[in-house]
């Protein structure tokens, strides 16, 4: 079975529209490129009980869970507390993180020390390419909300992903979606391990529908594409792409 993942974006600023969520889009693309299927994205507020509920649910359902946001020094940074509550452990000061912070400033305020908190039993992932270590608890990777920092840390952990590649084909046609739907339905029933998507496009003079076919079985994917192309009128086919 392919590995699955869930993404949890934490922050009132996302839900209120004050900040745009770029992190989930970035992680979706990276996960897909490494053969990991994203199953759900949840955007939730800075509320400990809600974080605990969603994190516990995701951790039980998916192989990997990625949280973004809520791990800074301020009052609304409650991700660590929420994850700790989800699994009945306490937030604790990790000495390695504390020492890391003290290299920059010998005397730490309570707010600064909060940045050294982890759920009890968490581990750290470090790499020469990142400054502050990444916190991992069970199957949960706890990322900061700042996109530049998240990307650097994500590039570190994706080195450990070794899932089979997902192969993709795109077919562009100049035909209405209702006309192409019966053909797609037939292909879907025949090739059950090929995922097929159909996406109408407006205001495009070249094509009107983009069809995508993806699978970790390259041979099956190519066979499905060949059979689909046989059922599309040549004058309606615009092009096929990877």
> Tokens standing for 99?
């020492």
Question: Domain residue spans in the chain?
Answer: 4-160, 167-241
pLDDT at residue 106 above 90? Answer: no
Q: How high does pLDDT run on average in the chain?
A: 96
Question: Is a pLDDT exceeding 90 seen at residue 94?
Answer: yes
Confidence of residue 104 (pLDDT cuts 50, 70, 90): confident
Residue 135 has pLDDT above 90, yes or no: yes
CA-wise closest residue to 157 among 187, 136, 171, 173: 136
Q: How far apart are CA 17 and CA 12, in angstroms?
A: 9
Which structure tokens are listed for 156?
């570190």
Q: For residue 1, is pLDDT > 90?
A: no
**Helix crossing, 48-61 with 79-86: angle to 10°?**
60
Task: At 98, list the tokens.
Answer: 């504390």
Q: What is the pLDDT of residues 187-222, one digit of tens each?
A: 999 999 999 999 999 999 999 999 999 999 999 999
The residue whose two tokens read 């020469």 is: 128
Q: How many whole angstroms separate alpha carbon 115 and alpha carbon 122?
A: 14
Topology of the domain covering 4-160:
Molybdenum Cofactor Biosythetic Enzyme; Chain A (3.40.980)
d(CA 43, CA 98): 30
Same-fold call for 4-160 versus 167-241? no
What residues are paired with 210 via a beta bridge? 172, 199
d(CA 37, CA 91): 31
Q: Between 3.30.70.2860, 1.10.10.410, 2.30.42.10, 1.10.3720.10, what CATH number should domain 167-241 receive?
A: 3.30.70.2860
């Amino acid at each position: 079975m392919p590995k699955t993942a869930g993404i949890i974006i934490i922050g009132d600023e996302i839900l209120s529209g004050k900040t745009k969520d770029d992190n989930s889009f970035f992680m979706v693309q990276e996960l897909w490129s490494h053969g990991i299927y994203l199953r759900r994205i949840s955007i939730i507020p800075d509320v400990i009980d809600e974080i605990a509920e969603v994190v516990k649910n995701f951790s039980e359902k998916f192989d990997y869970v990625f949280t973004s946001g809520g791990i800074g020094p301020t009052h609304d940074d409650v991700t660590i507390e929420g994850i700790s509550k989800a699994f009945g452990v306490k937030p604790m000061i990790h000495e390695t993180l504390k020492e890391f912070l003290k290299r920059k400033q010998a005397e730490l305020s309570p707010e600064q020390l909060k940045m050294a908190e982890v759920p009890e039993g968490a581990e750290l992932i470090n790499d020469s390419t990142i400054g502050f270590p990444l916190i991992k608890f069970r199957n949960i990777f706890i990322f900061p909300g700042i996109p530049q920092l998240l990307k650097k840390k994500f590039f570190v952990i994706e080195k450990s992903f070794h899932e089979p590649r997902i192969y993709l084909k795109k077919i562009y046609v100049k035909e209405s979606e209702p006309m192409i739907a019966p053909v797609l339905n037939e292909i879907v029933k025949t090739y059950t391990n090929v995922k097929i998507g159909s996406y109408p496009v407006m205001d495009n003079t070249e094509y009107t529908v983009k069809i995508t076919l993806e699978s970790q079985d390259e041979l099956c994917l190519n066979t499905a594409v060949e059979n689909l192309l046989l059922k599309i009128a040549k004058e309606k086919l615009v092009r096929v792409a990877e």
